[in-house]
Amino acid sequence: MDKSIDNFRQYLRERGFKLTPERQAVLMQVLSFRGHFDVDQLYEKVKKYNRKVSRATVYRLIPHLIDSGVITETLRCQGRISYEKIQGESRHDHIVCLGCGKVIEFRDKKLQFLIDNICKKYDFKPIEHRLGIRGYCKECMEKKEDAGESPGET
C-alpha cells in the first residue's frame, strides 16, 4: 500500500498537484477495496470518512488514479464503469451477469497462451488486454425462463 501512495504522490508532484487530504482520502478508500467498484460506490465509502470530499473530486481523481497505475477500468455494464486496483501481475478476465450484475473473475492459461502467441505473430508488445463476457448467470437464466422470456431478451 505504501508503494501505491508514494507512486501516486510522485505522479501528482510531477504534474504540479499536491496530495491534499481529500485526494488522500479517496486514495486510501480505493486501496481498501477488495474487488470491483464504481465511482458512486467509491464516493459513498469516502464520504463516510471525509465529509469534505465532493462527488466532483472523486470523478476528477479517477483519470489520475488510472494514469498513475493505481487502478484500471475493468468493466462497462448496464451503463456503469467499474474499476479495480492494480496489484502486480494479476492477469484475469471477467464474466458479467446482465441480470444481477454478478462479476466472475477468471484466469485461463490457454487463453493467455493464445493472446501471447497472437501478439508474437504480429510482433506486438501488449500493455493490457480486456476480455469481458456478458450474459446471464444460472440463477438469472432460470428467472427469465420462469417469466417466459428467452435468454437473449432484456
Q: Are residues 8 and 58 in the same domain?
A: yes
Report residue 69's pLDDT band, with 50, 70 and 90 as the boundaries.
Answer: confident
What pLDDT score was predicted for residue 6? 87
Query: Which of these three, 33, 53, 87, is where a domain ends?
Result: 87
pTM strictly above 0.75: no
Q: Are residues 67 and 102 in the same domain?
A: no
Q: Are residues 68 and 99 in the same domain?
A: no
pLDDT, one tens digit per residue, over 89-121 is 567 788 888 888 888 888 888 998 999 999 999
Q: Are residues 83 and 97 in the same domain?
A: no
Q: Are residues 96 and 149 in the same domain?
A: yes
pLDDT, one tens digit per residue, over 7-54 is 899 999 999 999 999 999 999 999 998 888 889 999 999 999 888 899
In the chain, what's the furthest Cα-to-Cα distance? 58
The C-alpha angle with vertex 8 and arms to 68 and 60, in degrees rounded to 5, equals: 70
Query: Which of these three, 34, 63, 87, is where a domain ends?
Result: 87
What pLDDT score was predicted for residue 88? 57
- In DSSP notation, 16-63 reads T----HHHHHHHHHHHH--S-B-HHHHHHHHHHH-TT--HHHHHHHHH
66: domain CATH number is 1.10.10.10
Domain that holds residue 65: 1-87
Q: Are residues 4 and 70 in the same domain?
A: yes
Query: Cα(138)–Cα(97) distance, rounded to whole angstroms?
Result: 9
Q: Are residues 116 and 131 in the same domain?
A: yes
pLDDT, one tens digit per residue, over 119-142 is 999 999 887 777 888 899 999 999
* Three cell numbers, residue 138: 444460472
Report residue 57's pLDDT band, with 50, 70 and 90 as the boundaries.
Answer: very high
Q: Are residues 104 and 31 in the same domain?
A: no
Q: Are residues 99 and 143 in the same domain?
A: yes
Q: Domains in the chain: how many in total? A: 2
